[in-house]
């Protein structure tokens, strides 16, 4: 997972709003939402691979 996506997910987990994340990253609030959606999908895919290996 790219560092930028990882950072977005971590900021989201810290319960920052899209506005706060936008201020930190320099993105628009809308772009934060789009980027976070993509990052979460990538993370879900990565996690599925891990959980499949554990079974």
What does the pLDDT average to over 27-52?
Answer: 91
Of 2-6, 10-14, 27-31, 44-48, the range with the lowest mean pLDDT is 44-48
Q: Record the pTM.
A: 0.80
Q: What is the mean pLDDT of the chain?
A: 92
Q: Does residue 50 surpass a pLDDT of 90?
A: no
Collect contacts of 27-35 with beta carbons under 8 A, ≥24 apart: 32/8, 35/4, 35/5, 35/8
What are the extents of the domains in the chain? 3-49
Q: Does residue 54 surpass a pLDDT of 80?
A: no
* φ/ψ of residue 30, rounded to 5: -65, -45
What does the pLDDT average to over 29-54?
Answer: 88
Q: What is the pLDDT of residue 1?
A: 86
């Amino acid at each position: 997972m790219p560092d930028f996506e990882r950072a977005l997910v971590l900021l989201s987990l810290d319960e920052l709003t899209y506005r706060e994340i936008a201020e930190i990253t320099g993105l628009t609030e809308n772009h934060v939402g789009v980027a976070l959606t993509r990052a979460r999908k990538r993370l879900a895919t990565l996690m599925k691979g891990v959980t499949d290996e554990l079974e």
